[in-house]
């Protein structure tokens, strides 16, 4: 199972950064683009919260697992989930989904250059064998680059936190992957949203997590 580690965070320098997000199902990192806005109250430590769910999210085991991811992060912030039927100071909603898209990547062209072996050899049953072609002893080499179109999935998580009907925090985390399904990326998206919480107002950044 993948382990979560502290992220490396760099400033967002433009849309090109998003185009370079992870495009490999077995890579060792997952990068997410996070944008957040906040008016977080200074006296929120130890406050209670509850989850606001849509009709489709009620009694949904997949959604419950995502809430569990959020609970772990909220506990680290010192927030406490209110008991069922008890009023809570903050209301938290999770919205998520995936959309397919085609991306272009620059990939190397590898070539195994065959080499002529002019010196023959004596085969034990076939007799004398003349010179022959063999693979390059130095292995395949890059001879150029090509643009390749690949199918990918952009996974998205949005977290909204409200107090008495007024929004005090909102953040969206997205990641672009080739084969990794949404449930496998959700722990990283949740941690991306809450990393450095509450963060700057209107801040966008790239967060990178080690997954292996």
Burial class (CB in 10 A: 0-12, 13-18, 19+), 13: exposed
Q: In sequence order, what DSSP letters do the residues of 142-162 get, joined into one string?
A: EEEEEEEEEEEEEEEEEEEEE
Q: Which of residues 34 and 25 earns the better pLDDT score?
A: 34
**Does residue 142 belong to any structural domain of this protein?**
no
Evaluate whether residue 43 is within a structural domain: yes
What is the total count of domains within the chain?
1
Q: Is the pLDDT of residue 60 over 60?
A: yes
Predicted confidence (pLDDT) at residue 212 exceeds the cutoff of 90: no
Average pLDDT for the chain: 85
122 domain-assigned: no
Compute how many other C-beta atoms are within 10 angstroms of the C-beta atom of residue 173.
Answer: 26
- 5, pLDDT greater than 80: no
Residue 9 has pLDDT above 80, yes or no: no
Q: What is the CATH number of the domain that holds 44?
A: 3.30.160.670
Do the domain assignments include residue 192?
yes
What pLDDT sits at residue 109? 87
Question: Does residue 74 register a pLDDT over 50?
Answer: yes
Structural domain that includes position 162? 8-110+147-210
2 occurs within a structural domain: no
3: in domain: no
- CA 140 from chain centre, in angstroms, equals 31
CA distance 57 to 53: 6
Distance CA 115, CA 105 (A): 31
Task: Tell me, yes or no, whether 141 lies in a domain.
Answer: no
Measure the N-to-C terminal CA separation of the chain; round to a whole number of Å: 8
Each residue of 130-189: pLDDT tens digit? 777 777 777 788 888 988 888 899 999 999 999 999 999 999 999 999 889 999 999 999
Among the listed ranges 84-98, 103-117, 171-185, which one has the minimum average pLDDT value? 103-117
Alpha-carbon distances, residue 102 vs 108, 148, 168, 176, 178 (angstroms)? 19, 10, 35, 11, 10
> Could you please report the per-residue DSSP string of 86-98?
S--SEEEEEEEEE
Look at residue 133 and tell me if it is in a domain.
no
């Amino acid at each position: 199972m993948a382990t979560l580690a502290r992220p490396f965070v760099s400033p967002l320098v433009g849309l090109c950064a998003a185009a370079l997000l992870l495009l490999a199902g077995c890579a060792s990192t997952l990068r997410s683009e996070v944008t957040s806005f906040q008016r977080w109250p200074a006296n929120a430590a130890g406050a209670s919260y509850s989850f606001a769910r849509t009709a489709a999210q009620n009694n949904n085991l997949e959604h419950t697992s995502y809430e569990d991811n959020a609970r772990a992060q909220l506990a680290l912030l010192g927030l406490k989930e209110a008991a069922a039927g008890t009023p809570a100071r903050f209301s938290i909603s999770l919205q998520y989904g995936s959309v397919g898209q085609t991306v272009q990547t620059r990939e190397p062209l590898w070539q195994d250059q065959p080499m002529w072996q002019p010196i023959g050899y004596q085969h034990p049953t076939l007799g004398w064998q003349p010179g022959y072609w063999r693979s390059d002893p130095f292995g395949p080499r890059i001879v150029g680059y090509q643009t390749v179109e690949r199918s990918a999935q952009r996974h998205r998580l949005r977290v909204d936190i409200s107090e008495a009907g007024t929004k005090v925090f909102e953040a969206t985390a997205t990641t672009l992957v080739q084969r990794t399904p949404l449930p496998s990326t959700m722990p990283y998206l949740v941690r991306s949203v809450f990393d450095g919480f509450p963060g700057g107002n209107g801040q966008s950044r790239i967060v990178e997590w080690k997954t292996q």
